[in-house]
Amino acid sequence: MDRIKRIAGHFLPLGSAKAKVAVLGAAGGIGQPLSLLLKNSSLIGELSLYDVANTAGVACDLSHISTACKVKGYSGAGQLHDALRGCQMVVIPAGVPRKPGMTRDDLFNINAGIVAVLCEAIAAVCPDAWVLIISNPVNSTVPIAAEIFKRAGTYHPTRLFGVTTLDVVRAEAFIAELLGADPKDVSVPVVGGHAGATILPLLSQAKPQLQLEPPRAQALMARIQDAGTEVVNAKAGAGSATLSMAWAAARFAEACLRAMAGEGGVVECAYVASSLTSLPFFASPVRLGRSGVEEFLPLGPMNELEQRNYDTMLPELAGSIQKGVNFVQKRQ
């Protein structure tokens, strides 16, 4: 893995296998398009698709695509360990999505147990893998994963991520729309967590710079914070964001794989174990390297509106983190 060469814009490891990546929840609304996008990655040698059911069809379908990445499907708890064997990265979109009127925290009772079981298997089979958690409520499921790994003695805080890329992607899309710019030219940090007020887009640090009166800045911030609910309501009972989430997760997974392969200067926002604030977990821009998170980028200056949001968000995020920790402590 030491010698690297740039191929088609990516650093790939020379003389070593490409990554083996598992998607847990691969037959779901996010899992299927995410697996499709990952099948297209030149950094992945093998995709391991796991779900409680219906994975054979998804794997067979994807295996007919003429890219080099191999695809194999695994169905049911009896095949979970086989799915994880040899994986360097595990992406988890398993769990139930919201319906209109629900909060992400309303998913806790079902998804907490799902994430805990999957992380126990990761600890047993591929304890060094990078783990990317999509399942909601992310503010709590990431602390749950951390506690499960601690209990198993396999916790690598620099390699456990709550995927908050969709918040960044949305912020980029909405700002580009507002400015009439190409979204690829827009960047904006989104910090905190992944639910309502804990999603804090630092619009004052957006590039290109935004010149918005406070009420318009507040409206834009609220739209980014409520964008998940916008999709839940538009889908009217048929689930939450799947396609945009798959795109965002594929972007984050690809960033992790590039860093893993030795590319320098890879920066993305993610919800990680962090020393930036008084909280044990916090989303911020992080620099990724071969061993995972290598640097927390500073939060930077906040304007009055952002500082107010930051102050009110901290207790809510602290409560969600503690809820996850308590769940594992009470678990046999």
Interacting residue ranges for ligand NAD, rule: CB under 6 A: 24-25, 27-31, 51-52, 93-98, 107, 111, 114, 117-118, 134-136, 138, 163, 166, 194, 239-242, 245
Task: Output the CA–CA distances (angstroms, integers) from residue 49 to 37, 214, 251, 255, in the order listed.
Answer: 13, 46, 18, 20
Q: How many residues does the chain have?
A: 332
Q: With beta carbons less than 8 A apart as the criterion, state whether 288 and 267 touch.
A: yes
The least CB distance from residue 300 to ligand LMR, in Å, is: 24
The least CB distance from residue 200 to ligand NAD, in Å, is: 15
The least CB distance from residue 13 to ligand NAD, in Å, is: 28
Give 202's Cβ-side CA count (13 Å radius): 21
d(CA 310, CA 332): 35
Which position among 241, 248, 261, 302 is part of the footprint of ligand LMR (CB under 6 A)? 241
Nearer to ligand LMR, 75 or 240 (CB): 240
194 catalytic per annotation: yes
Query: Is 240 a residue that touches ligand LMR (CB under 6 A)?
Result: yes
CA 72-76-82 angle, 5° bins: 50
Q: Are β-strands 130-133 and 160-162 bridged in parallel, bridged antiparallel, or unpaired?
A: parallel
Query: Is 248 a residue that touches ligand LMR (CB under 6 A)?
Result: no
CA 232 to chain centre: 19
User: Which of the choices ligand NAD, ligand LMR, none does residue 36 contact, using the CB cut-off of 5 to 8 A by kind?
Assistant: none
Which position among 39, 104, 159, 258 is part of the footprint of ligand LMR (CB under 6 A)? 104
d(CA 332, CA 325): 13
Give 120's Cβ-side CA count (13 Å radius): 9
The least CB distance from residue 271 to ligand LMR, in Å, is: 12
The least CB distance from residue 23 to ligand LMR, in Å, is: 17
Residues 165-194 that bind ligand LMR (CB under 6 A): 166, 194
User: Which of the choices ligand LMR, ligand NAD, none does residue 25 contact, using the CB cut-off of 5 to 8 A by kind?
Assistant: ligand NAD
Residue 30 labelled as part of a binding site: yes
d(CA 51, CA 93): 10
- The residue at minimum Cβ distance from ligand LMR is 228
Give 219's Cβ-side CA count (13 Å radius): 6
Judged by the rule CB under 6 A, the positions of this chain that interact with ligand LMR are: 97-98, 104, 136, 166, 194, 228, 231-232, 240-241
> Binding site residues for NAD(+), as ranges?
25-31, 51, 111, 134-136, 245
